[in-house]
Amino acid sequence: MSRIGKKPVHVTKGVEASVKANVVTVKGPKGELSFAHHIDVEVALAEETFTVTKRGESKRAAAVWGTTAKVLSNMIEGVTNGFQKQLELNGVGYRMAVAGKKINLALGFSHPVEVAIPAGIEAKIEGNVLTITGIDKRAVGQFAAEIRRLKPVEPYKGKGFKYVGEIVRRKEGKKSSS
């Protein structure tokens, strides 16, 4: 039984929410998000509160019940506060710069790497920290993961992308015998 699915999701002040068929739309000061939920769950809006209930007792209904409630909660938080991820780039000669809707990266390859910034996401660079912000939690996390995948931090010298606050276990290099 989902503990998250049982809890009602409260709509904060300044946020407009509506449910039509299986599409939930949330509008707030930062923007608008919509979500088409699975047909095995039912979403109802009453008195500024979302309630999510299962339709039937299938495994899929149990699986998407709590997920749907959490997605609704994240939508409300996204249109009011937004989400952000921060990536730190370490390494001699590694550079990054934002040019319009692209991020130009020099990651030690024989060629520069250009990454297009998706719609609805903003990126800014301060020193060696890339800050990715947006209202959709999934899109922000996915874009941060795609950037990190280009050059993940390696355990010997600590070069590459890591999340700010991430702890990287360092390994000892080869020892010469004398």
Q: Give tens-digit pLDDT for 114-143.
A: 999 999 999 999 999 999 999 999 999 999
- Higher-pLDDT residue of 87, 172: 87
Rg of the Cα atoms in the chain = 21
Residue 92: how many CA atoms within 13 Å on its side-chain side?
1
Amino acid 6 reads K
Q: Give tens-digit pLDDT for 15-56.
A: 999 999 889 999 999 999 999 999 999 999 988 899 999 988
Identify the CATH assignment for 3-80 out of 3.90.1150.150, 3.30.1050.10, 3.90.930.12, 1.10.4010.10: 3.90.930.12
95-99, strands of its sheet edge to edge: 95-99, 102-106, 113-116
Domain 83-163 has CATH 3.90.1150.60: no
Residue 161 pLDDT exceeds 70: yes
* Average pLDDT of the segment spanning 52-71: 90
Q: Tell me the pTM.
A: 0.89
